[in-house]
């Protein structure tokens, strides 16, 4: 699937992910809230997960956790590359080291609230 746009959406208190995108190109997730997800297994599921996604924009979303269940606010895995993760509120997720984790050499992560890796694997 190519060219998916998600705007002003809500995914809260889900058993797994707030949103999970797999193999999407030109994905844009903007001005949405994915809060307190992962109730089926604490510390396993994130607010937003991009797996094998390219040329995506994750902008201005609320991906924080006050339930101590959600693993990360935003994570990219697999061959995700050329994604822009900017101006998201991802504070307070259950993982002790990061609220945003991303893979790939060509992603840009900037101006987010929360801790994030310079580059890592999820």
Q: Which H or E run includes 33? A: strand 33-35
- Distance, in Å, from the CA atom of 37 to the CA atom of 107, rounded to the nearest integer, reads 24
pLDDT in tens, 12-52: 999 999 999 999 999 999 999 999 999 999 999 999 999 99
**CB-count burial class (<10 Å; 0-12, 13-18, 19+) for 40:** exposed
Is 90 exceeded by the pLDDT of residue 106? no
pLDDT of residue 23: 94
Is residue 113 one of the residues assigned to a domain? no
Could you tell me the residue range of the domain that residue 5 belongs to?
Answer: 1-96
Strands in 100-101's sheet, in edge-to-edge order, are 19-22, 48-51, 74-77, 100-101
Provide the 8-state DSSP code for 40: T
pLDDT of residue 35: 94
Average pLDDT over residues 48-64: 96
If DSSP codes are grouped into helix, strand and coil, which group holds residue 51? strand
Is residue 74 one of the residues assigned to a domain? yes
Task: From 66, 69, 60, 58, select the one nearest 19 (Cα to Cα).
Answer: 58
pLDDT in tens, 65-89: 988 899 999 999 999 999 999 999 9
Is 60 exceeded by the pLDDT of residue 56? yes
Is residue 76 one of the residues assigned to a domain? yes
Give the pLDDT band (50/70/90) at residue 2: low
What is the number of structural domains in the chain? 1
Is residue 106 one of the residues assigned to a domain? no
């Amino acid at each position: 699937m190519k060219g998916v746009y998600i705007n002003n959406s809500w995914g809260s208190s889900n058993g797994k992910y707030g949103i999970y995108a797999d193999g999407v190109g030109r994905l844009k997730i903007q001005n949405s809230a994915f809060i307190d997800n992962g109730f089926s297994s604490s510390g396993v599921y994130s607010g937003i997960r991009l797996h094998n996604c390219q040329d995506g924009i994750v902008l201005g979303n609320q991906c924080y956790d006050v339930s101590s269940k959600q693993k990360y606010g935003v994570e990219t895995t697999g061959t995700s590359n050329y994604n822009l993760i900017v101006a998201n509120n991802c504070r307070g997720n259950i993982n002790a080291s990061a609220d945003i984790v991303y893979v790939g050499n060509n992603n840009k992560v900037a101006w987010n609230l929360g801790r994030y890796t310079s580059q890592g694997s999820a």
